[in-house]
Chains A and B, each alone.
Chain A
């Protein structure tokens, strides 16, 4: 009922829109119940006029009698009819609808390829827009940028993807504004180094979050890794190269670069220009010295055959009664302050030599007669590779010289087998080979003592004559193999004799050269001329010999017993000699009587050892305080012609009579 009322009431509302009038009309319609309710609306205004008169009669009648009220129902008024799109399968027209559905789906399927159907745009009615305003929290806008380079996109398979640390999320919360300067750092990358750059942007956060324990573990891990040790090595060499740049450039014969930031002191520059003269001189480049070697006497030095920058220096007291600990240090040119390898030996070291076939092997001879072969390639190997301590036939006295020598096998002529040879104070020359992890030797030669009274005879007598004293062996002090014919070698003895021997003949000397009357300290073949050799001895003389002459061709005097003599590897007429007081460089081109350069030893020091550097014109000199000094030879005027001819010419001109007699 209220439903129907509202319909009728709404028409009246349009005419009178007050609530009071609605109430009035409600009353009026209620009163009109007696009359037919289905009166059309057009009649309503008439009814309204009749209201006033009818109203009075009704109220009087109503009070007295019982009235009947008829209630009828109106037709159903449908207000909203939306037909359903779903039809039951049991309905009558279900089949028709199903058929139509099928057709439609067919059409849809064929629509793609069918030419009957064309896509076309249509204008549809746009609904009226409605504006609605709401309030919201402010959204902060943040700009980020990244730079991706080709390197970042290149991902080699072995590199791991770094998991972003949780500290990253913290940075996003705390830092809302990104500094535009930092954008290059935030490159997307797969390597760990780049990704950690992102977390380093918020260094403050990381410092508060990270614990100290992690850094300690990190520290140890980093410090003990091999890469770190290599980095340290690199760094030390770079730092030293900066310090020693001028000296190293002079050593390598590179032009000196002027440091533009160095304060130029004009006065000193002028002085130095005035002082540079053209006379041959030695310039001290640097000194190899360290704490370990202080106080030890340098007994022997050897360059590595493969790496010309590596120098092995043997330290030890040469007085073999004093059995002290020996030391061998391998120095590199690139680091004059600390040796690359330090090898402690059981007794004082007398001689060292590097092998050619296996350049990492260093043979060390000691004053107790034992020989050890060390491998210098690995830094960790503290114990010797092989030692001859257990060998029954080892030298009974100090090993005075060791040499690695390559011998050609006679039948093939190509293979070069390298063996170790040594000469010792017990008068034996031995050839060593490795057996069962130890060294064993065979005797090549026994140095028999020759009577001094035979010195003046010029005949090459075999020692099995009645006049010679054969029983005692004389200590051999030095030996040297011929540079081209590895079967021949020379050896100098305590007596002052020099014997030429052959590896194949163990009983006889091929030749004996007598001139020295004191122990022969060093013998060396000339590397540039096949037949010439030098010998030096404690009688303060240096003799130049030719292989076929019994008598020396030239002799040079020095003022002190000469400890060592060496040929220059580049200039055939230059050789160096060292005695206790001074270093002498002789140049046969300039003078036979005096050395061309004399370098006195520092006060309190005695020079003990000498070596020429192979690729440059420098010499290294060892002294009694454990220092090895590198000098550069300057202004040595040497001719450009072929070295062998130079020597030949010199020898011809030097001592014409004797020389030409023997040459013919």
Chain B
């Protein structure tokens, strides 16, 4: 009788191990998400930062701290601007690529980190 019980437990242990192995990537994913969220919140809390926008590849803003109209305006305008900037950089040297765009205006500074599938925009007022 005792042998049977031991075998059962071992099987259950094996099942639990398998389950946790499958859960590991999910756990890691949620940890990563938490880290990323924390970093984003930190950036938004820095001195002078007016707002942050994340735009996906289709031009839809997927996360923003500003109101809808401003967000869609920035998303649309900055998409075309970064495309133009990138083509300018690559026209000069096709092996080069755009890594960061900063637009400094009288009242604020717009920082854009462009990538193939997203756009990270932060608007800061540095002279506060």
Contacts and interface: CB of A to CB of B under 8 A. Distances in A.
A3 interface: no
Nearest to A162: B57
B29 to A, nearest CB: 6
A243 B48 contact: yes
A583 to B, nearest CB: 27
Nearest to B46: A239
Interface stretch (A7-15, A24-32, A219-227, A414-422): A219-227
A203 B118 contact: no
B63 A149 contact: no
B36 A239 contact: no
A29 to B, nearest CB: 89
* Dominant secondary structure at the B interface: mixed
A218 interface: yes
Contacts of A35: none
Given A228-B118, A239-B111, A203 B59 contact: yes
Interface stretch (A190-198, A503-511, A558-566): A190-198
Interface stretch (A88-96, A170-178, A229-237, A448-456): A229-237
B102 interface: yes
B52 to A, nearest CB: 8
A243 B125 CA distance: 9
B113 A234 contact: yes
B36 A229 contact: yes
A191 B86 CA distance: 12
Interface size class of B (residues with CB under 8 A): 35 or more
Contacts of B40: 232
B87 A149 contact: yes
Nearest to B112: A235
Contacts of A235: 43, 111, 113, 120, 122
Contacts of B63: 219
A221 B115 CA distance: 13
Nearest to A147: B87
Contact of B42 (A187, A222, A261, A338): A338
A193 B113 contact: no
B47 A243 contact: yes
Nearest to B117: A222
A539 B61 CA distance: 64
Interface string B74-113: 0010011001101100110010000110100011010101
A243 B109 CA distance: 12
A239 B43 contact: yes
Nearest to B49: A239
B83 A151 contact: no
B33 interface: yes
Given A191-B116, A224-B36, A261-B127, 4 more contacts: A156-B94, A192-B117, A203-B76, A232-B43
What are the 8 A-B residue pairs with the smallest beta carbon separation, nearest first?
Answer: A200-B59, A231-B113, A242-B126, A151-B90, A151-B87, A154-B94, A262-B127, A222-B118
